């Protein structure tokens, strides 16, 4: 029998030891990748702008037939989201497997 | 204007495809009976993904997005990013936890999590509000497509289209048609991409993947006609882009009909994986949408008939159809395109109206008005509510307040300001209580409608909470309100906090 301990209160900023800590690390990593590339890139465009409409070397660069920034936002970012979701799922799958093995192998 | 005979074939194709939905649905029904007919059957991760995508794809994606890119160029990519990036939030913050919580309609979750009938009532009201706003956008799309199919003006088009829509819903209900979302996605994606390939081929661009082929058209527009659709800040400032994109993202993760998708998924892992496939299927359409806009602009420029901004705004929502028509897409293919738009709008509307009607019959009528209502009575209330909602939306759609995607964005703002924060904190912070949720949702409603109602008197409100982008400051503000009010009032009951810790977050302890 486990000794009853203080009950855990769910709090995003104070994850429970074990699975939740690892899960939260994955969430933070994905959200970091999600935020920096999405919004960071727009800030970069703004930072580099040479004209009021935002032209810079990034907009003059051509990539896959498109201006680089247009390709990056319109095509790369949706792909990036898919990659992030894929990575998150693979990680969570492994994590779940590891923790359920530790517990009762119910996952196998 | 095209001649009547030219539209006869497209009309026949739209009719055939709608009939095909009934036929496929009836076949499915005999294969496997499903209780949740409008949410569809479960068919594995790939099928689940297609279901998420078809559930998602509406007139806003099919018609509205290209229209906005046609008008605003790069700025409108905020819609592409907002409507895909939102799924990342949904996956990492909510999908698995909602599935484990076990309540799937927004009012049910709110009512159960916060043990508060008042919070449930507000959530039901918000769900209905989202339904109405979102459906106005769909009805506008329906009006444009049917207006063209029948060669009549927009308002008559709306009336005809909605009459057909309601008959279709009633017929499907009477026959007990199961919604085949995989077939539906197939129709939508084919209808969107095929005409685009035709256009790219006709213009001599790389047609196998028109998603890349339109780059050359953009280049021609910029160099030959000095029309730069890619200028980053020509359509709106960095703040406008960011706030719009963020609003659409949190709205995506807060839309009731998106959240309740996890209902039919049998386990948590499949819930997660179907999101990845769903996102991929959605991105297939969004990678292609700019091509329609660019081709439309190029045809105008080549013909030397560039419309002034006001006219362009009038044209924008029909630009997918216009581009295909002017580009010489044959009538049968135009019919397929129109059928895709009609399917996207019809099924989204059907799903939303039923979600809204269920909120009324289940969460308002049966919980507050007539507590002893039988299931039969609730069902008939839901059916009447569907028709009443359709009627209200129809009246509002006769004079649509904006572009399809803009109207839809307002529904996203409402979802992002209300449902998203109460789900997020409800799942991730055990201390959140009913008082907090109520105060938060009321603040969210106020924030969403602050600009359209009071913006002219207080210009600052319009700047802080622009109507399509109000969740950028709104959602954080609402979260703050919920936290503050929750801390000032007693914690939620022990049972719920234990449930959150042990079941929602403790499945592997």
Residue B33 has pLDDT above 50, yes or no: no
Q: Identify the closest residue of chain B to A70 by CA–CA distance.
A: B230
What pLDDT, on a 0 to 100 scale, did the predictor assign at position A51? Answer: 85
Q: Which residues of A touch B70 (CB under 8 A)?
A: none
Residues B56-73 pLDDT 10s: 999 999 999 999 999 999
**Rounded to a whole number, what is the distance in Å from the CA of B506 to chain A's nearest CA?**
8
For B154-184, the DSSP string reads HHHHHHHHHHHHHHHHHHHHHHTPPP-HHHH
Distance of CA B375 to the CA centre of its chain: 29
Hey, which residues does A11 pair with through a beta bridge?
B429
Q: What is the mean pLDDT of residues B253-276?
A: 83
Show residues of chain B in contact with A54, CB under 8 Å.
Answer: 231-234
Task: Check pLDDT > 80 for residue A103.
Answer: no
- The per-residue pLDDT for B1 is 44
Mean pLDDT of B246-264: 87
Check whether B204 has a pLDDT greater than 70.
yes
Distance from CA of A97 to the nearest CA of B (A): 10
Interface test with A, best of B66, B232, B267, B433 (most A CBs within 10 A): B232
**Cβ contact (<8 Å) for A65 and B206?**
yes
Average pLDDT value for residue range B297-303: 92
Quote the pTM value.
0.93
Cα separation of B507 and B484, whole Å? 29
* CB-based contact A70 B218, cutoff 8 Å: yes
Interchain contact, B81 vs A100, CB within 8 Å: no
Mutation target for A interface from B61, B91, B92, B506: give the one with most A CBs within 10 A: B92
Helix (H, G, I), strand (E, B) or coil at B430: coil
Whether residue B500 and residue A67 make contact (CB cut-off 8 A), yes or no, is no
**What is the rounded distance in angstroms from the CA atom of residue B472 to the CA atom of residue A64?**
32
Of residues B88, B126, B130, the one with CA closest to residue B250: B88
CB B249 within 8 A of CB B91: no
Q: How confident is the model at residue B24 (pLDDT cuts 50, 70, 90)?
A: confident
Chain B positions touching A5 (Cβ under 8 A) are none
Residue of A nearest to B83 (CA): A78
pLDDT of residue A1 exceeding 80, the answer is no
Q: Closest-CA residue in chain A for B81?
A: A78
Give the residue carrying structure tokens 């680089």: A68
Give per-residue pLDDT as tens, B172-200: 888 877 778 888 999 999 999 999 999 99
Q: Do A70 and B428 touch (CB under 8 A)?
A: no
Q: Which two tokens stand for residue B301?
A: 């420029």
Cα distance from A78 to chain B (closest Cα, Å)?
6
- The pLDDT of residue B44 is 78
Q: Is the pLDDT of residue B340 over 50?
A: yes
Phi/psi at A66 (5° precision): -115, 155
Helix (H, G, I), strand (E, B) or coil at A39: helix
Residue whose entry in the numeric block shows the structure tokens 């989204």: B348
Cα gap B386→B395, rounded to integer Å: 14
With a threshold of 0.85, tell me whether the complex ipTM lies above it. Answer: yes
pLDDT given at position B239: 94
Taking residues B192-213, what's their average pLDDT?
89
The reply to whether residue B505 touches residue A16, judged by beta carbons under 8 angstroms, is: yes
Give the angle subtended at the CA of B399 by the CAs of B394 and B405, to the nearest 5°: 85
B285's CB contacts (< 8 A; 6+ apart) are B53, B57, B61, B62, B188, B189, B192
Q: How far apart are the first and last CA of chain B?
A: 67
Please choose, from the candidates B3, B449, B78, the residue with its C-alpha nearest in 3D space to the C-alpha of residue A45.
Answer: B78
Contact (Cβ atoms closer than 8 angstroms) between residue B82 and residue B249: yes
Within 8 A of A50 by CB-CB distance, chain B residues are none
Least confidently predicted of B337-341, B379-383, B493-497, B505-509: B505-509
**Average pLDDT rounded to a whole number, residues B15-35:** 75
What residue spans of B32-153 are helical by DSSP H? 44-56, 59, 65-72, 77-89, 96-101, 106-114, 117-150
Question: Residue B307 pLDDT more than 60?
Answer: yes
User: For B96-119, what is the mean pLDDT?
Assistant: 89
Closest residue, chain B, to A96 (C-alpha) = B508
Q: Which of A63, A13, A22, A69 is nearest to B229 (CA)?
A: A69
Question: Considering all CA atoms of chain A, what is the largest pairwise distance in Å, rounded to the nearest integer?
Answer: 70
Q: Which pair of tokens denotes residue B8?
A: 């006869």
In the 8-state DSSP scheme, what is residue B429? B
Q: Which residues of B touch A64 (CB under 8 A)?
A: 212, 215
Per DSSP, A11 falls in state B
A63 phi and psi angles, rounded to 5 deg: -145, 130
Of B91, B218, B509, the CB nearest to A88: B91
d(CA B109, CA B119): 10
Q: Do A82 and B213 touch (CB under 8 A)?
A: no
The answer, yes or no, to whether residue A65 has pLDDT greater than 90, is no
pLDDT at B379: 87
Query: What domains are there in chain B, each with its CATH number?
Result: 4-399 (1.20.1730.10)
Q: What is the CA radius of gyration of chain B?
A: 22
Cα distance between residue A7 and residue A37, in whole Å:
38
Contact B140, B317 (CB under 8 A): yes
**Which band of pLDDT confidence, cut at 50, 70 and 90, is reported for residue B335?**
very high
Contacts of A19 in chain B (CB under 8 A): 508-509
Cα separation, A84 vs A89, whole angstroms: 9
Between CA A77 and CA B81 the distance in angstroms is 7
- Summarize the confidence of residues B274-303 as an average pLDDT: 93
Is there a contact between B429 and A10 if contact means CB atoms under 8 Å apart?
A: yes
- pLDDT beyond 90 at B7: no
- Which residues, at least 6 apart from B372, have a Cβ–Cβ distance to it below 8 Å? none
> Which chain B positions have a beta carbon within 8 Å of A65's beta carbon?
206, 212-216, 219
Q: Which residues pair with A63 in a beta bridge?
A: A66
| Spatial CA neighbour of B202 closest among B6, B70, B63, B333 | B333
**In this predicted model, which residue has the larger pLDDT, B445 or B271?**
B445
Nearest to B269 among A66, A79, A93 (CB): A93
Residue B135 has pLDDT above 90, yes or no: yes
Predicted local distance difference test score (pLDDT) of residue A6: 64
Show the tokens assigned to B7: 């539209």
Mean pLDDT value across chain B: 89
- pLDDT digit string, tens, across residues B478-502: 999 999 999 999 999 999 999 998 8
For chain A, the average pLDDT equals 86
Q: Which site among B94, B230, B240, B482 would you substitute to test the A interface, given the most A Cβ atoms closer than 10 Å to its Cβ?
A: B230
The yes-or-no verdict on residue B34 having pLDDT over 50 is no
Q: Strand runs (DSSP E) across A11-102, as ranges?
A: 62-63, 66-67
The more confidently predicted of residues B262 and B377 is B377
Region A40-46 average pLDDT: 93
> What percentage of chain B exceeds 70 in pLDDT?
95
Kindly state the average pLDDT of the residues A70-78: 94
**Record: contact B87-A19, CB cut-off 8 A:** no
- State whether B230 and A70 contact (CB < 8 Å): yes
Quote the percentage of chain B above a pLDDT of 90. 61
A46 and B287 within 8 Å at the Cβ level: the answer is no
Average pLDDT over residues B66-94: 95
- Rounded Cα distance between B60 and B337, Å, is 15
Closest listed residue to residue B232, CA positions, set B86, B72, B85: B72
User: Considering CB atoms only, which of B273, B498, B505 is closest to A89?
Assistant: B273
Is B273's CB within 8 Å of A9's CB? no
Judged by CB atoms closer than 8 Å, whether chains meet at B231 and A70 is answered as no
A69 min Cα distance to partner chain B (Å): 8
The pLDDT score that the predictor gives to residue B42 is 56
**B66 half-sphere exposure, CB direction, 13 A CA radius:** 31
Run of H or E including B194:
helix B181-203
Q: What is the pLDDT of residue B38?
A: 43
A67 beta partners? A62
């Amino acid at each position: 029998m486990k000794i009853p301990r203080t009950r855990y209160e769910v709090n995003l900023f104070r994850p429970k030891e074990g699975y939740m800590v690892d899960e939260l690390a994955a969430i933070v990593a994905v959200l970091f990748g999600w935020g920096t590339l999405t919004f960071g890139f727009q800030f970069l465009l703004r930072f580099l702008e040479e004209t009021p409409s935002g032209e810079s070397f990034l907009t003059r660069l051509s990539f896959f037939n498109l201006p680089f920034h247009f390709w990056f936002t319109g095509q790369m970012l949706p792909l990036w989201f898919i990659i992030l979701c894929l990575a998150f799922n693979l990680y969570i799958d492994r994590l779940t497997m590891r923790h359920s093995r530790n517990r009762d192998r119910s996952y196998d | 204007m095209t001649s009547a005979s030219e539209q006869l074939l497209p009309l026949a194709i739209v009719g055939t495809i709608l009939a095909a939905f009934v036929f496929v649905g009836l076949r499915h029904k005999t294969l496997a009976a499903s209780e949740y007919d409008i949410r569809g059957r479960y068919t594995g991760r790939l099928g689940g993904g297609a279901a998420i995508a078809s559930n998602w794809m509406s007139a806003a994606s099919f018609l509205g997005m290209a229209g906005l890119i046609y008008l605003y160029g790069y700025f409108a990519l905020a819609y592409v990013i907002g409507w895909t990036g939102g799924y990342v939030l949904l996956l990492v913050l909510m999908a698995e936890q909602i599935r484990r919580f076990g309540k799937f309609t927004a009012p049910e979750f709110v009512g159960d999590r916060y043990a508060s009938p008042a919070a449930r009532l507000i959530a039901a009201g918000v769900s209905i509000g989202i339904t109405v706003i979102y459906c106005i956008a769909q009805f506008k799309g329906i009006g444009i497509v049917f207006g063209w199919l029948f060669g009549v003006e927009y308002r008559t088009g709306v009336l005809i289209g909605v009459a057909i829509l309601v008959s279709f819903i009633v017929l499907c209900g009477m026959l007990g048609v199961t919604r085949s979302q995989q077939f539906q996605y197939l129709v939508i994606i084919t209808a969107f991409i095929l005409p685009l390939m035709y256009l790219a081929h006709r213009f001599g661009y790389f047609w196998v993947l028109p998603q890349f082929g339109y780059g050359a058209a953009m280049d021609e527009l910029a160099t030959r006609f000095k029309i730069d659709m890619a200028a980053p800040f020509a359509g709106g400032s960095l703040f406008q882009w960011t706030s719009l994109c963020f609003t659409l993202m949190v709205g995506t993760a807060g839309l009731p009909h998106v959240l309740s998708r996890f209902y039919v998924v049998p386990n948590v892992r499949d819930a997660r994986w179907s999101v990845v496939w769903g996102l991929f299927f959605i991105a297939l359409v969004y990678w292609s949408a700019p091509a329609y806009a660019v081709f439309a602009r190029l045809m105008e420029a080549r013909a030397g008939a560039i419309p002034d901004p006001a006219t362009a705004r009038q044209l924008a929502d029909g630009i997918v159809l216009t581009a295909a028509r002017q580009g010489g897409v044959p009538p049968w293919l135009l019919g397929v395109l129109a059928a895709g738009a009609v399917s996207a709008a019809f099924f989204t509307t059907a799903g939303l109206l039923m979600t809204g009607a269920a909120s009324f019959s289940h969460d308002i009528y049966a919980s507050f008005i007539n507590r002893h209502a039988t299931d039969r009575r609730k069902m008939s209330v839901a059916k009447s509510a569907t028709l009443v909602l359709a009627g209200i939306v129809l009246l509002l759609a006769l004079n649509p307040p904006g572009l399809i995607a803009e109207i839809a964005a307002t529904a996203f703002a409402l979802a992002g300001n209300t449902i998203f924060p109460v789900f997020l904190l409800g799942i991730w912070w055990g201390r959140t209580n009913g008082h907090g949720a109520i105060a938060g949702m009321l603040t969210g409603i106020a924030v969403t409608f602050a600009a359209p109602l009071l913006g002219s008197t207080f210009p600052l409100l319009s700047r802080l909470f622009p109507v399509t982008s109000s969740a950028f400051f709104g959602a954080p503000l609402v979260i703050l309100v919920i936290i503050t009010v929750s801390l000032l009032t007693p914690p939620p009951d022990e049972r719920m906090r234990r449930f959150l810790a042990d079941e929602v977050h403790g499945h592997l302890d």
